[in-house]
Amino acid sequence: MPTLRELLAARLRDALAASGHDAARADVSQAGDVRFGDYQANAAMVLAKEKKANPRELAGEILSHIDVSGLAAKPELAGAGFINFRLENSFLSEALSHLAADSRLGVDVVARPRKILVDFSSPNVAKPMHVGHIRSTILGDCLVRVARFLGHEVIADNHIGDWGTQFGKVIYGWKHFLDRDALGKNAITELVRLYREVTRLEETDDVIKRTAREELVKLQAGDPENLAIWKETVELSWGEFQKLYDLLDIRFDERLGESAYNDALAPLCATLERQGIATTSEGALCIFFPGIPTLEDKPAIIRKSDGGFLYATTDLATIDYRIAHWHPEAIWYVVGSPQALHFQQIFAAAKMMGVECDLKHIAFGSILGEDRKIMKTRSGENVGLSEVLHEAIERARRVIAARADALSPDEAESTAHLIGLGAVKYAELSQNRLTDYVFSWDKLLSFEGNTAPYLQNAYVRIRSIFRRAEEPANASAPILLNEPAERALGLKLLQYAETIPVMLEELRPNILANYLYELANTYHSFYEACPVIKADPASRASRLLLSDMTARTLSHGLGLLGIGCPDRM
């Protein structure tokens, strides 16, 4: 069903055309102040600026042609030329009745679905995932969920770092210092220990340093023993990563690492050189970008003077593979802002290679500790992701123990997982992804303010109403909007359908998070002003239905963020 915004925009578009103006200017947005209406349009002000006309006179002319009968009251002119719309209660009631029976809560699939490959998470083999992986992993998963819900075909791709100089040290350590029991208990911890031990020994022993490098050369040359060790290292590491992905309820369709493209790097360089896209400069093979001001003095090196390849080479080979294998219309890279220059170079190079796929870097900022510095342990290392997630669950256990004594042990444990993991996810997704944010345990686990526990608790409170009422919502009950709080809640519920597409269009999950927070607040005001169970029969049925729709929307919206809702807390 069309959204409220789309319906009003269509009426405005007809009015602009009828008055001889550009109908493409028919943009309508939610009103910033409900005292002046539900929606507003600034088309007159935009057109007036273009035509050097009086915006209020132009708005009056548009108003004389606009017909919103059956949808809204007569639009009003305000300020310098705003056109304000206030929807009719009868229309809202009818729209809400349709919404109550809609399993998609009014959200239509897109008119033209695309095939989108989303590259996210990307941990490095033989290293633990750390707090820095939160943003890419959780942002990427959310975008995958929302894009699929809107009807796009999505490939979730984990491009793991499984090739590089560190493997010479790991293989040497494996052959000389491996503790099999420790490897079985926690593979990554043991692999990190081997790497650090060899690094320490190299500082004083040139023979070990040279031998570790030789192990790397043997691996790159295809030595069977070293390849077997490397493969086991990759699988053991993935097993540890998978435990975290299972905990977070995240799935991937593809998990090829850098090594999968190793054999394609030399042929790719030869092709680019033959086509004149890459040229040799000071012994290195580079791609220059004349005509692109931001890149004119920043060539992409794809083969070093010593013959080694770089991330740029691998990423271009990866694009070649993805286009040939998956045929995506778009590839999204959910990677931190510091890699912005790298992706500008890669995308420009891909275009020179004839790639027409829509390549997009979905950048994000850093997670800071409460000292406003990058989160580190006391020893200066990155905080492990596993430690963060299990700490969140443990803290949630303590919160639940202090709040609820009616939960069974199993229910308390599952609820702790939902609250703790939901809190970590929401702390990430409720932020503007381009900004840095402070990771605060007290704030993210609070039951007050814009947090996951607050929203989950709002859902739980609504479900408790139905337990007390001892009856389900009647989806065919007439929806009454006699009270301002009822109307405000109904309007907010109808706006879910226009929130989801905008969130994906702008690639900002915080738009959805903020909507859900506003919905919970709106419901709280409704509940305070409008008795549900003790209301007269008609109002009770209507308010139970509004409550049920709110619970469904909270649960569905949080689900798109990758967050579950417990039945009780």
Q: Are 555 and 498 in contact (CB under 8 A)?
A: no
- Rounded to 10 degrees, what is the CA torsion of 133, 135, 136, 141? 120
154 closest CA partner among 287, 9, 328, 292: 328
Q: Around Cβ 179, how many Cβ atoms within 10 Å?
A: 11
What pLDDT, on a 0 to 100 scale, did the predictor assign at position 376?
Answer: 59
Strand, coil or helix: 338:
helix
What pLDDT, on a 0 to 100 scale, did the predictor assign at position 220?
Answer: 86
349 closest CA partner among 271, 283, 257: 271
Asked whether residue 4 carries a pLDDT value surpassing 70, the answer given is yes
Asked whether residue 99 carries a pLDDT value surpassing 60, the answer given is yes
Give domain status of residue 335, yes or no.
no
Give domain status of residue 48, yes or no.
yes
**Measured at the alpha carbon of residue 142, what is the angle toward residues 552 and 119, in degrees to the nearest 5?**
160
Give domain status of residue 230, yes or no.
yes
Residue that finishes a domain, picked among 87, 115, 140: 87
Handedness of CA 14, 16, 21, 25 (dihedral sign): negative
Residue type, 522: T
Buried/exposed code over 352-365 (b: 16+ C-beta within 10 A; e: otherwise): bbebebebbbbbbb
351 closest CA partner among 323, 379, 373, 325: 323
Asked whether residue 377 carries a pLDDT value surpassing 60, the answer given is no
Q: Are 192 and 124 in contact (CB under 8 A)?
A: no
- What CA–CA distance (Å, rounded) separates 226 from 243? 26
What pLDDT, on a 0 to 100 scale, did the predictor assign at position 380?
Answer: 54
- What CA–CA distance (Å, rounded) separates 274 from 551? 61
Q: Are 258 and 310 in contact (CB under 8 A)?
A: no
User: How does DSSP assign 90-141, residue by residue?
Assistant: HHHHHHHHHHHT-TTTT-PPPSS--EEEEE---PBTTS--BTTHHHHHHHHH
End-to-end CA distance of the chain: 35
Q: How buried is residue 437: exposed, middle or buried, by Cβ count under 10 Å (0-12/13-18/19+)?
A: middle
Domain count, the chain: 2
pLDDT 10s digits, 214-232: 999 899 889 999 999 999 9
Cβ-proximal residues to 19 (8 Å cutoff; 6+ apart), any chain: 61, 62, 64, 65
pLDDT 10s digits, 528-545: 999 999 999 999 999 999
Asked whether residue 351 carries a pLDDT value surpassing 90, the answer given is yes
- As separate numbers, helices (DSSP H) first and strands (DSSP E) second, the chain gives 21, 13
Asked whether residue 27 carries a pLDDT value surpassing 60, the answer given is yes
SS3 letters across 195-263 = HHHHHHHHCCCHHHHHHHHHHHHHHHCCCHHHHHHHHHHHHHHHHHHHHHHHHHCCCCCECCCHHHHHH
Strand-strand pairing, 82-85 and 115-119: unpaired
pLDDT 10s digits, 244-293: 999 999 999 999 999 999 999 999 999 999 999 999 999 999 999 999 99
Identify the domain containing residue 193 by its residue range: 166-248
Confidence of residue 375 (pLDDT cuts 50, 70, 90): low
Rounded percentage of the chain residues whose pLDDT exceeds 70: 98
Give this prediction's pTM. Answer: 0.94
Give domain status of residue 291, yes or no.
no
Give domain status of residue 25, yes or no.
yes
User: How does DSSP assign 6-35, residue by residue?
Assistant: HHHHHHHHHHHHHTTS-GGG---EE-SSGG
Q: Are 452 and 419 in contact (CB under 8 A)?
A: yes
Asked whether residue 404 carries a pLDDT value surpassing 70, the answer given is no
Asked whether residue 311 carries a pLDDT value surpassing 60, the answer given is yes
Q: Are 268 and 317 in contact (CB under 8 A)?
A: yes
pLDDT 10s digits, 419-453: 999 999 999 999 999 999 888 888 888 999 999 99
Residue that finishes a domain, picked among 87, 107, 140: 87
Residue that finishes a domain, picked among 59, 87, 115: 87
Strand, coil or helix: 467:
helix
User: How does DSSP assign 147-212, residue by residue?
Assistant: HHHTT-EEEEE---B--STHHHHHHHHHHHH--HHHHHH-HHHHHHHHHHHHHHHHTT-HHHHHHH
Buried/exposed code over 534-549 (b: 16+ C-beta within 10 A; e: otherwise): eeeeebbbbbbbbbbb
Give domain status of residue 31, yes or no.
yes
Give domain status of residue 64, yes or no.
yes
Give domain status of residue 389, yes or no.
no
- What CA–CA distance (Å, rounded) separates 127 from 42? 53
What pLDDT, on a 0 to 100 scale, did the predictor assign at position 36?
Answer: 87
CATH assignment at residue 83 = 3.30.1360.70
Q: Are 122 and 134 in contact (CB under 8 A)?
A: no
